[in-house]
Structure formats: C-alpha cells, structure tokens
Structure 1
Amino acid sequence: MINWSNCPDVESAPERVSGALVFCGSRVPIAALFENLEDGITIKEFVEIFPGITLEQARAVLDFAAKNSLTAA
C-alpha cells in the first residue's frame, strides 16, 4: 500500500468525502483518476471531466504512485 502522506497533491480530511484521499483543495478522490484511466480515459480527458484538477496535479499523483508502488510492495 502506498503511503500518500508524502504526496503534496493529495490530502485527506474527515469532513470531506468521508476522509477519502482527494486531490488537494478538491473533493475529487484520487481513486477517480485511477478508475478512469483503467476505463480508457486519457489524463487530458480526466482533467476536462474534473475541471478543478490540473494536468500537473494528475501527473504528480501518477508519478508519485509509480515511484512509490515499488517500495510499497
């Protein structure tokens, strides 16, 4: 499991989305990014669907996941 506490683009607040991991400053769960990518949506389409999320944020979350998935295994 990835420890997201060191990712500056991710936060969790109990009062928002039941404490789910979300993109900072939003109510969009980071799980939505991974689910949409699995369904074939491109990262550019994702940020169009969720206009509060920037392309840089989405890329940073993916980069963090890629770098930390090896250490979490």
Structure 2
Amino acid sequence: MFNQLIISDPAIMMGKPVIAGTRITVELILEKLSTGETIEQILEAHPRLSREAIQAALAFAAEALRAVTVYNTTEVDQ
C-alpha cells in the first residue's frame, strides 16, 4: 500500500521518505504520533494529508524496521 504514497527523492527533503506530493516526512508523522497527537490533529494541521497517507507512513516504518539490524536501546558505560 505504501509504495504509491511514500516516495524518496534526493531533491525532496534530502531524500527522506515523504508523503507523495508533499514535503511531509514519514519521520514527522511518527514524531507527532509518538508525542500523543491524534491522527485527527495531524490531518487538521496538514490538510494535504489523508488518513491513508498516515497509515502508509506507519506501514513504511514497520517494513523498514523489519530489516536485519540490531538497535541498542541501552547506554554503554565508557
């Protein structure tokens, strides 16, 4: 689903994944949701977005995290 709504172009937002036809990054949507904003609040603040675009951003992020990468979530004493 997200492959048509999420694009990455080096000429737009330095190649970060964005909602097609906007400069709204997947990162921004995730940040807003993580701080407690609702989908309705995001849609109100960004009228060019759709509910489907937000769902596509979430699906894109989930797919990206399926990559074989280990994320260290604890600090290491140095």
1:71 positional shift: 3.5
Q: Distance in 1 between matches of 2:38 and 2:31?
A: 11
Larger helix percent: 1
Name which of 16, 34, 38 aligns with 1:38.
Answer: 34
CA distance in 2, matches of 1:60, 1:41: 17
CA distance in 1, matches of 2:57, 2:41: 16
- Measured after TM superposition, the shift of residue 60 of structure 1 is 2.5
SS in 2 for 1:15: coil
Percent of aligned positions with the same letter in both sequences?
A: 31
Segments of structure 1 that go 5 or more residues without pairing to the other structure are 1-5
Q: CA RMSD in A?
A: 2.0
Q: Give, in whole Å, the separation in 2 of the partners of 1:7 and 1:29.
A: 14
- 1:51-62 matches, within 5 Å, as 51-62=47-58
TM-score normalized by the length of structure 1: 0.74
Structure 2 segments unaligned to the other structure (5+ residues): 69-78
CA contact (8 A) 1:20 1:29 kept: yes
Aligned length, in residue pairs: 67
Q: Which residue of 1 aligns with 2:43?
A: 47
- Look at both structures and tell me which one has the larger radius of gyration over its CA atoms: 2
Q: Matches of 2:11 and 2:40 in 1, distance apart? A: 29
Work out whether residues 7 and 61 of structure 1, in 8 Å CA contact, stay in contact via their aligned partners in 2.
Answer: no
